[in-house]
Structure 1
Amino acid sequence: MGALMSMIFGKAQVEVFVTTGDRQGAGTDANVWLCIVDDLGNVTPDVLLDNLLQNDHERGQTYSYPIWKLGEMKGKVHKVVVWRDEAGIGDHWFLDRVEVEDRRRNTRHVFPLQRWVKPHVRYTMYEHHSFLPQHEPQLEMRREELEEKRKTFEYAARFNKGPLQVATLPADEAFSAKYMLDFLSLKGALMAQTMYLRLTTERWTSLEDLKNVYLENSQLYMPKVANMWMDDEWFGRQRVQGVNPVLITLCQEIPEKFGVTDEMVEPFLEGLTLEQALQKNKIFITDLEMLDGILCKDSGLPLVSPIALFYLNKAEDIMPLAIQLFQQKAPDNPVFLPSDPKYTWILAKMFYNMAEAQHHQSSTHLGLTHLLMEGICVCTHRHISPSHPLFKLLAPHFLYLLAINSRGLAKLIQPGGWVDTGMTVGIRGMFSLIEKSYLAWSFTKHGILPNEVKSRGVYDASILPYYPYRDDGEDLFLCIRKYVFNVVTHFYDDPDKIANDYELQAWREELVRPRSEGGLELQDVPGSNGRFETADEIAETMTVLVSTCSLGHAAANFQQYEAYGFIPNFPGKLTGAPPTDKQELGEADIMKYLPNKKETLDIMVITKLLSMKGTKSLGDFEVQYLYDPHSIQAAEEFRLDLRRLSHVIEERNLKRKHMYDWLNPKIVPNSISI
């Protein structure tokens, strides 16, 4: 009908474009009406949004509707009112936005709703539709909506003292059909590639036998580390650009519990004494004390909790000096050295990496990105309206977070699941480590990347020249901070706006409230006197959330296959007791410690799946939430900054011995979706 009218009368003076959201069940068969209100209070006649011979309002689609009868509307387009009935087989409808093209004034106006539209309820949509609660023109509806969301987004405590999670996954938070199809298709293909090997003998006979598992030109290719995993230089490099680059610390004094002596390590110090090397800031340490007291799942033996010492040599490489597998000195807890028999030293490094793998998966990856952010995401839904500019700022970075956590816990972290079979600690040990890391996590110390790096004494490039995680990570963090501050300070340009924003203040209060009283009990959330008082405090908090969901997760996640995919390099699991002496070993001896073929193949498949990038790159948002001109400009500047940084990192990689691309903005997604 619209096309016919256009042929007869020419273009309508006003045309409306209606976009249905791209989520499960978003489309509707109901009748939908709209009217437009101008700035003088005049209203157009009601318009039925129905194109002849067209199935309107389908999921993820935009449909246009010319408005021929403007009635008394003479002024500027001010707001839009939309409502629907219950007609049709499927009447539910998720409206993303309405755009109004006013050809009288050559203007275009965007009215985002981004909600489910209830039948017979009139939804008034204002341009850009972004309000602090004290400025909300539909306050009662907003309050009722949040009350409903608090019933939908309830907490569940699945850990004794760990992060809170959502009790039941809301339907709105589920994966899209396309995302699930892509994920399951890749999983099926990977399982098919490994099926024939699962029917052969259980154990690997040699390293060459293990290497035969990899298939050329397939998803399960041989990781580059397969040809350098034994090298001390690579072992050191994993501390600064590996999957868990958050442990390396400047050592200024050898701990009493570490049985290292000058005589042990001086042959590797290029003519320096140990004391001289310490004074020159050339000694570094990693200490996995967190693992002390955790038991191995299968054997019931104590998990190793190693300490490792490293030296910055003249070539500016971090080289391992010594490894002690347990925390306290003892006759059966030797200090392993590079001068030990070849495979004895290699086995010590394997046990160290196995221990760090438990820390990586439990703390750095699952505990302090996935689960930490889940509780904060739930808190956001409970207290901050979808109309709030801060909800709109955070929403792209929470995409699929609850869905992947729900699926991960169901498939991977259950008795008999992948963690139980592919990780030395099993699920009980992992839960204990998650609780420890959560209790120790601080917003300002650990959530702000430059602060975290400074806390370990390795922020200064003159002390640790080669540290790709620090260098690329800080640059990306500063890009995120600039964008977030730009948006936040625009909406909070007056201290009164902060003081009167009761949604924001209630959100912060629940973040810090003790768990025993229904809060998340997070430490060091920015603020003063139990409240946010400045825009900088709000922006710093939001920066931590955006960066953790993007940068933090990317650094811990996307090179998992490269690290774990060749099992001896970074073994998620080793079987048998750790060495208690330095007797000479051979290749056959270390093969006995590796997981069997089925477990190995499962580790390869799962870490490949976990390395899959499921959503768009940072700044390229799947859904646009903020439409005001300032926020649009801020997002454009953000994307420009990210493109520039991407080029800088590509230039750095040309000079690096081993490429570190995991914090290139092209690689980093917006959210934790895998």
Structure 2
Amino acid sequence: MADVSPPQPTGAAPRARAAGRHAAMGNLIPKLALQLSRDRYVVHVHTGDRKSAGTDANVYVQLRDEAGHVTPARLLDHWFFNDLERGTVCSYPVPAEPALQGVDSLLLRRDNAGLGNAWFLDLVEVEDRTLKRRWVFPVHRWIHADTEYRLRQFDISLPQDDETDIRDRRRAELEAKRDVYQYVQRISEGPAQVKELPEDEMFSFSYKFDFLREKARLLLKTKSIGSSNDSWSSFADLAKGYENSLGEPNAMQYWSSDRWFGLQRLQGVNPVMIQLCTSIPDKLGVDDAMLRPFLEGLSLEQALTSKKLFIVDLELLDGVGAVEGTELCSPIALFYLNKKDELMPVAIQLFQEKSPDNLVFLPSDPPNVWVLAKMYYNNAEAQQHQSCTHLGFTHLLMEGVVICTHRHLSPSHPLFRLLAPHFLYLIAINSRGLEKLISPGGWVDKGMTVGVNGMFELIRRGIKRWRLDTMGVVPAQIAGRGVADHSVLPYYPYRDDATALYAAIERYVRSVIDDVYSEPERLAGDWELQHWRKELTLPRDQGGVGLLGVPGDDEKGFTSKDELVTTFTSIISTCSLGHASANFAQYEEYGFVPNYPGILYGRAPRSKDTEPSERDLLSYLPSRVTTRDIMVITKLLSYRGTQSLGDFEVRYMYDPVGSRAAETMRAELRKLSDQISARNATAEFPYSWLDPAFVPNSISV
């Protein structure tokens, strides 16, 4: 990068724009000018869609071929038209000397004229209208005044491959980004988050507008439910609240059945908890006599050895506080796989340690006693789901990864281009979520048993256990729970779909990484990547992200391509399928509050002597207004915000290898989507949350 004297323009004279002076002519002028032009080359300039991305500055471009021939500077301007505005594509003919043979690179420069001279440039395409050929120059940068940028086709390189001037520019850009992307721990001992929301991370206007408009629409549709603190008079009264409002969640039909309770562990909103039970924990107060009636003639020992028993232990919740008027359980639930391959609950203990008033609830208990025990179990699991599986292990952990990536990987780095589509709006939605939902007196305090303080405590506990190489690697986290084998657990759609999706992402990542690091020394010499890993693993109290389980060596950094494949596949899958499986079923699960209650009032059951009535069960549920809030928020959060996985909102990779890898992945995902759709067409309980057509690229809601 070098400063040069202002180029002498060809074509239109320099402009001094005034706001709105070209609006009346619309798009007619540039299109007509392009049609009338006989110039061989045309540049198509894509201005980014972000705050203040458009410019009023004078912008000049020059084309260069491999022999070093350079065209005269062309001012990018059409008379009577407001060029280079946010989110636009503007086209300009470029007079070229006869000696120009093709386009090897282009030179770009702007001045600081006009009131709004800052400019974020996404992409420049150069079209040869004679040979019907195009050259693509991705940029994805703010273009600074009085600085010449030399752009190369595809703009993808490792830092050690750059010439000195481009290398210096990369370093300067990253230094500037480190001033903007800084860490803070908003939750004490919690994940690394961004100190201040960078303007580049804000929602586009259209996205933000749609989000707010939809919330208002949902509130209007649920107006009939009312805004009072009155209780529900009956379950029929509760069910009426879904008529002519947001629609009935499917769980309304069978929420109290044991079969559905088992299915929630396999295809619900939190399907990552169930694990094979190989022995009964000492703290679980069950024995053979208690369980034999539910094991189809097997003894407890036979059920264990034949791999028919499964368990969920929510011990992470033990000792976490709850909001006033509620009680948080830390349950252990035992499940049996029957001869129909249905996972059925056979025992629920609501607290961790055995004691006379910590009963084990059984399917043979009075029906409403058993229903209440299942409600309290689901209430507890809902706290772990929202705090860890959803918020902590996707939104918040990945926010630190996004910050670290911007601080250490240049937009020209091939692995930045690999990750960037999966970071869209992540920091923005986190900032908005913490502000609107997870603040004192906000939705979490009103709609979740743990409230904000308890949620933060669970996040603190959870991130101390999360490891990229186990929980972040889908096949590893499934195998670690003993449920990878189809002969052990035949019906487990989350496992099947997540594993297939992960494998497709892994093949995509490996294709790119194998090409970028064709020789071992290329990996060792990539200082941007090695600095990225160092800060990614650096403890948070020392200024890093504090991510555990990142492959590689603390001294040498990444030492193999396999380590890179694992790391980058884990990050992309967490931002896509990991979030999708935890997020988009929220209305189906939480929307009908008895099914998966975010909050229950009163104390958990400690006796089987008296069976609660319907009115007693209803007294545990939130009021009309809180139910309405839960419905609206979970419906809003269940909307897909960005495009399907692989269908990128912004394309970052144009090089042949990256382009082929992305297209191959898209083809694999289309085939997988067809398979899942065919399965769901005949399934009694369809599971569509990991259909690739539904899984977005990023965490944007």
- Normalised by the length of structure 1, the TM-score is 0.97
The alpha-carbon deviation at position 663 of structure 1 amounts to 0.1
Aligned to 1:440, the other structure's residue is in SS state: coil
Can you list the C-alpha shifts for 1:224-262, whole angstroms capped at 9, x where unaligned? 101100100000000000000011110011111000111
Mapping of 1:227-238 within 5 angstroms? 227-238=253-264
Structure-2 change in CA distance of 1:199 and 1:501 (3 Å) = closer
State how far apart, in whole Å, the 2-side matches of 1:366 and 1:542 are: 20
Pick aligned residue for 1:198 from 210, 226, 230? 226
Residues 509-559 of structure 1 deviation map (CA, whole Å, 9 limit, x = unaligned): 111112222122222211135411111211211000000000000000001
- Which residue in 1 is equivalent to 2:189? 161
How far off its partner does 1:200 sit?
Answer: 4.8
- Separation in structure 1 between the aligned mates of residue 405 and residue 661 of structure 2, nearest angstrom: 22
Q: Deviations over 1:612-648 (max 9, x none)?
A: 1111010000000011011111111111111000001
What secondary structure, in the 3-state scheme, does the structure 1 residue paired with 2:108 have? strand
Match of 1:210 among 234, 238, 255: 238
Q: Counterpart of 1:97? A: 123
Residues paired across the two proteins, number: 669
- Structure 2 residues without counterparts, runs of 5 or longer: 1-11, 13-29
Residue 473 (str. 1) matches residue 498 (str. 2): yes
Residue 553 of structure 1 aligns with an amino acid whose one-letter code is H
C-alpha separation in 1, matches of 2:243 and 2:107: 58
Name the CA shift for 1:334/1:182 in 2 (closer, same or farther; >3 Å): same
Deviation, 1:72, is 6.8
Secondary structure, aligned partner of 1:543: helix
2:590 corresponding residue in structure 1: 564
The match for 1:348 among 359, 370, 373 is 373
Rounded to whole Å, the distance in 2 between the matches of 1:57 and 1:175 is 20
Structure 1 distance, partners of 2:99, 2:577, is 49
The yes-or-no answer on 1:605 pairing with 2:617 is no
SS of match in other structure, 1:284: strand
Q: How many angstroms apart in 2 are the aligned matches of 1:6 and 1:342?
A: 76
Matched, 1:87 2:119: no
Residues 7, 416 of structure 1: alpha-carbon distance in 2 compared, 3 angstrom cutoff = closer
| Bigger mean CA deviation after superposition, 634-643 or 189-198 | 189-198
- Following the alignment from structure 1 to structure 2, what is the Cα–Cα distance between the partners of residues 615 and 395? 13
Matched, 1:307 2:332: yes
2:690 to 655, 659, 663: 663
Aligned to 2:260, the other structure's residue is in SS state helix
2:650 and 2:161 map into 1 onto residues whose CA distance is 25
Comparing 108-117 with 663-672, greater Cα deviation is found at 108-117
Q: Distance in 2 between matches of 1:394 and 1:58?
A: 27
Distance in 2 between residues matched to 1:98 and 1:207, nearest whole Å: 60
Q: Which moved more, 1:419-428 or 1:154-163?
A: 154-163
- Over the matched positions of the two proteins, sequence identity in percent amounts to 53
- Please say if 1:150 is aligned against 2:175: no
**Corresponding residue for residue 420 of structure 2:** 395
Shift of 1:54: 2.3
Q: Which amino acid aligns with 1:290?
A: L
1:626 lines up with 2:653 in the alignment: yes
How far apart, CA to CA, are the structure 2 residues paired with 1:209 and 1:411? Answer: 30
Instruction: State the alpha-carbon separation in 1 of the partners of residues 35 and 625 from structure 2.
Output: 68
Counterpart residue number, 2:205: 177
| d(CA) in 2 for partners of 1:368, 1:7 | 53
Question: What is the CA-CA distance between 1:105 and the residue it aligns to?
Answer: 4.8
Contact kept in structure 1, 2:273 and 2:312, CA below 8 Å: yes
Q: Secondary structure of the equivalent of 2:82?
A: coil
Residues 14 and 517 from structure 1, CA distance in 2 versus in 1: closer, same or farther, beyond 3 angstroms?
Answer: same
Separation (CA, whole Å) in 2 of partners of 1:199 and 1:122: 60
CA distance in 2, matches of 1:277, 1:158: 47
Closer/same/farther in 2, CA of residues 300 and 350 from structure 1, 3 Å limit:
closer
Alignment correspondent of 2:169:
141
Letter in structure 1 aligned against 2:353: Q
Whole-angstrom CA distance in 1 between matches of 2:460 and 2:32: 66
CA contact 2:275–2:481 (8 Å) conserved in 1: yes
Q: Which amino acid aligns with 2:571?
A: L
- Contact 1:645–1:665 (CA<8 Å) still a contact in 2? yes
2:104 corresponds in structure 1 to 78
Pick aligned residue for 1:526 from 534, 551, 576 = 551
Which residue type is aligned with residue 691 of structure 2?
N
**Aligned partners of 1:162 and 1:439 also within 8 Å:** no
- Determine if the alignment matches structure 1 residue 326 to structure 2 residue 351: yes
Match for 1:671: what amino acid?
A: S
**What are the equivalent positions in structure 2 for 1:565-604 lying under 5 Å apart?**
565-583=591-609, 584-604=611-631
Q: Which amino acid aligns with 2:162?
A: E
What TM-score do the two structures reach when normalised by structure 2? Answer: 0.93
1:504 aligns with 2:532: no
Matched residue type, 1:663: L
- Matched residue of 2:104: which SS? strand
Q: Deviations over 1:37-71 (max 9, x none)?
A: 11111211111111233221122221221122x23
1:363-413 CA-to-partner distances (Å, cap 9, x unmatched) read 000000000000111011111111111111101000000000000000011
Are the counterparts in 1 of residues 47 and 88 from structure 2 also a CA contact under 8 Å?
Answer: yes
Q: Aligned in 2, Cα 1:53/1:330: closer, same or farther, shift over 3 Å?
A: same
* Separation of aligned partners in 2, 1:356 and 1:428: 17
1:107 matched to 2:133: yes
Shift of 1:112: 1.2
1:322–1:338 contact (8 Å) kept in structure 2: yes
